[in-house]
Structure 1
Amino acid sequence: MATCQPAIFNEMGKYQWYVHLSRGDGADLGGIKSAISDCRSNCDAQGINLVVGLGPTLLADLTDDVPDDFQPYHTVESIDGSGREAKGTQEELLLWMTHDEKDIVWKAQWDARMALIASGMSVARETPTFIYGESLDMTGFIDGTGNPEDEDQPAVAIIPDGEAGAGGSFIIAQRWVHDLVAWEKQDVATQEVNFGRTKADSTRLDEQAPHSHLSHVELRDGETADASKPKRDEIARRSTPYAFHDGTVGLYFMAFCKTQAPFRERMDAMYGRNGQVRDMLTDFSNPASGSYYFAPSVECLDSSLA
C-alpha cells in the first residue's frame, strides 16, 4: 500500500514557507536528488512538516510512476474584456515547510535552497506565510470552511492503490494578491454576497448570487453550488495568508486532489471561461503566480531519490 506524504494532512505549524525552484542549464540531477533527500531527513529530525511537490518535467526525470493527466499550469485569462487573469508561472520543484517556530522553518528552507542552487537550480519565488486568527483570510472571512471532514480528506486528495501515482496527490499552488482597500470599501452584506458565506461564522448563504465565489468553486452533481445535489470532485485546502514589507497582502492558496481536472474546472469557472459569469472575487484578488505539482508517495520519493 502506498503512503502519502504525511505533512499533507498534518496540523500546520504557525509559520509556513513556500520555495519554488527550477533547473538551469547543466543542472546536476544527482545533486538535486541528494539535496531533496537531505531536506527530508533534516525536516523529519526537527519535526518540520515538509511536502515535496514536483512539476511535470522533474517528476518524469525522477520516476516512471507518473499520474495520468498531469498538465503544466498555464495562465487562465478571463474572456469578458475585464483583463482579469490567474497568472501561470510553472516551476519544477516546490518545498512547503511548516513549523510553530519561524526561525526553525527558515533555516531548514535556507539549507535546502543552498544545496539545490549548488546543484544548478534557481529560486523562482518564495512566500513565507502565517496563521491569521482562527484560520482567517486577509479579507476577514474564514478560509477552508468548504473542506471535507478530516477523516474524508484522504479519499478526496490521494490517488488510490492500483492507479498510476498511487499514494500521491496533485497540488495547485497560487499566490493571490488582494486589493484590500477596494474590498474594505464594500459593506459586510455586499462582501457576503460576493463570497457566498457570512463573514462572522462562515455560514453558507441559502441563495447564491451567480457571481458569488461559492457558486464557482463548490462543484455539485448538476449546477454548481446547487445545495440540493451532492458535492463532487472535492479538494483539500491548506491556504494561509501572507504580508510583504511593501504592503502587498493576499492568500497563498494550496490545495490537494487525487485528480488535476477539478482544479482546472474551478479556475475556468472563476474566470468565466465555462459560460458562467466571472467570479466577483476576481475584481479584488488575482494570482500573481501559479503552478501545478505532484506530491509523490513516500515510497516513490524513497526510491526516486536513492
Structure 2
Amino acid sequence: MSLYQEGILQAVPAHAVYLTLKLKNDSSAALLQQVLRELAAHADGNTLVIGIGASLAAALGQPIEGLVEFKDVADSRVRLPATPAALWCWLRQTERGALVMQLHQLLKMLAPAFEVQQQLDAFKYKEGRDLSGYEDGTENPHGDAAIAAAFVDEETPGLAGSSFVAVQQWTHRFERFDAMSTEQQDNAVGRRRSDNEELEDAPESAHVKRTAQEDFTPEAFMLRRSMPWAAQDQAGLMFVAFAHSFYPFEVQLRRMSGAEDGIVDALFQFTQPQTGSYFWCPPMKNGKPDLSLLDIV
C-alpha cells in the first residue's frame, strides 16, 4: 500500500471543499484522540486528504518536527494574513452530490471536538486554469520528482511519507484585471495566456520570475494543487502547495512579497491573499492516515 496520501499526487478533482476547523474550548486530549481516531478510520487519503495544525499537535502534547504556524513575512511590501487552524480537510469528488454527502458525514464526525473555521467550495476550471484564464501549476514536478518535492523521504524516521502543506485563499479583483490590456496581463503572469509560453522579455515583477523554483539556493520545488473557488459575488484561487518542508513556500513568498529585493510580484495588482495557514499531512499506513506521531494508534 502507498506511503502517501494519494490525493496529493493526483490531478485536482472536478469538485472539492477546503475545510479548516478550530478546537472547541472544552475539547480534552482524550476527546481529540477519539475523534481523530475515527477520522483516520474514514480518511482514505484520496477522496479525503487531511492535515494537522500546530495547535492541534500542541493540544495533544505531541509537537511535530518542522510543523509551525504561518506568520507574516518580515519586510513584506504587501499584507499577508495569518489564519492558523487546528485541522485541514480537502474533500475531493467527481460529482457534486457525492461531495455534499461526504461533507455532511465529515462534519457530523468532527462536531464533538471541532468547529468550522472556514468552508470553501472549489472546482476545476477547463483543463486546470485559474479564473484569470491562465494555466495553473505549469512548473509542477512529475513522477519521482513530484514525490521528492512533496513528501519527506523514507530515510527520515517518523516523518517518512508525510508532507507539509501551505494554504492561502486568494481573492481576485476582476475589475482590476479586466482593466489591464492583454499584454499587461501576460507580463504580470510572465506567460502568454493564448499558448502558455513563457515570455523571454517578461519584467522582473512577473510571477514566473518571482517564483522560478530552480533560482533559489537550495532549489525550492513544491507540488501545487490549487483550485478556483467561488462564493456569492467573490471568487479567486485557493493556493495549496505540498512540500517536504515549508522552506520552498516561504522563500518564494518572501520574494513575491518584495521582502527580498523590493520588487513585488505583479499578481498583487489584481489578487490578494485572505488567509494563510500551515499543516502537516500524515503518511498512510495500512490504507489509513498514520497518526502514531500524535500518539494515536
Q: TM-score, normalised by structure 2?
A: 0.89
Equivalent residue, structure 2, for 1:126: 119
Q: 2:130 aligns with which of 106, 116, 137?
A: 137
Cα distance in 2, alignment partners of residues 101 and 271 from structure 1: 37
8 Å Cα contact 2:220/2:249 also seen in 1 = no
Counterpart of 1:23, as a letter, is L
Equivalent residue, structure 2, for 1:3: 3
Equivalent residue, structure 1, for 2:18: 18
Q: 2:71 aligns with which of 68, 71, 74?
A: 74
Cα distance in 1, alignment partners of residues 75 and 119 from structure 2: 26
8 Å Cα contact 2:76/2:259 also seen in 1 = yes
Unaligned runs of 5+ in 1: 224-230
State, as a whole percentage, how many aligned pairs show the same letter: 24
Q: Are the structure 2 counterparts of residues 258 and 110 from structure 1 closer, same or farther at C-alpha, using a change threshold of 3 Å?
A: same
- The answer to whether the aligner puts 1:291 opposite 2:277 as a matched pair is yes
Cα distance in 2, alignment partners of residues 71 and 302 from structure 1: 17
Q: TM-score, normalised by structure 1?
A: 0.87
Cα distance in 2, alignment partners of residues 49 and 172 from structure 1: 19
Equivalent residue, structure 2, for 1:227: none
- The answer to whether the aligner puts 1:213 opposite 2:210 as a matched pair is no
Q: Are the structure 2 counterparts of residues 56 and 160 from structure 1 closer, same or farther at C-alpha, using a change threshold of 3 Å?
A: same
8 Å Cα contact 1:21/1:92 also seen in 2 = yes
Unaligned runs of 5+ in 2: none
Q: Deviations over 1:39-65 (max 9, x none)?
A: 444454xx9621110112323555858
Cα distance in 2, alignment partners of residues 222 and 252 from structure 1: 24
Cα distance in 2, alignment partners of residues 271 and 161 from structure 1: 33
Cα distance in 2, alignment partners of residues 60 and 216 from structure 1: 34
Equivalent residue, structure 2, for 1:228: none
Alignment of 1:167-206 (within 5 A): 167-206=161-200
8 Å Cα contact 2:5/2:46 also seen in 1 = no
- The answer to whether the aligner puts 1:243 opposite 2:237 as a matched pair is no
8 Å Cα contact 2:165/2:281 also seen in 1 = yes
Counterpart of 1:235, as a letter, is M
Cα distance in 2, alignment partners of residues 116 and 91 from structure 1: 14
Size of the alignment, in residue pairs? 291
- The answer to whether the aligner puts 1:265 opposite 2:251 as a matched pair is yes
8 Å Cα contact 2:189/2:206 also seen in 1 = yes
8 Å Cα contact 1:15/1:129 also seen in 2 = yes
Cα distance in 1, alignment partners of residues 225 and 80 from structure 2: 19
Cα distance in 1, alignment partners of residues 99 and 76 from structure 2: 41
Cα distance in 1, alignment partners of residues 228 and 271 from structure 2: 13
8 Å Cα contact 2:220/2:251 also seen in 1 = no
CA-CA distance at 1:215 after TM superposition: 1.4
The alignment yields a C-alpha RMSD, in angstroms, of: 2.4
Cα distance in 2, alignment partners of residues 256 and 62 from structure 1: 24
Q: 1:301 aligns with which of 285, 290, 295?
A: 290
CA-CA distance at 1:148 after TM superposition: 1.0
3-state SS of paired residue (2:229)? strand
Cα distance in 1, alignment partners of residues 231 and 195 from structure 2: 27
Q: Are the structure 2 counterparts of residues 151 and 220 from structure 1 closer, same or farther at C-alpha, using a change threshold of 3 Å?
A: closer
CA-CA distance at 1:25 after TM superposition: 2.0
8 Å Cα contact 2:152/2:163 also seen in 1 = yes
Q: Deviations over 1:179-221 (max 9, x none)?
A: 0111011111111111011102211112331111111111334
8 Å Cα contact 1:176/1:287 also seen in 2 = yes
Q: 2:154 aligns with which of 140, 158, 161?
A: 161
Equivalent residue, structure 2, for 1:50: 48
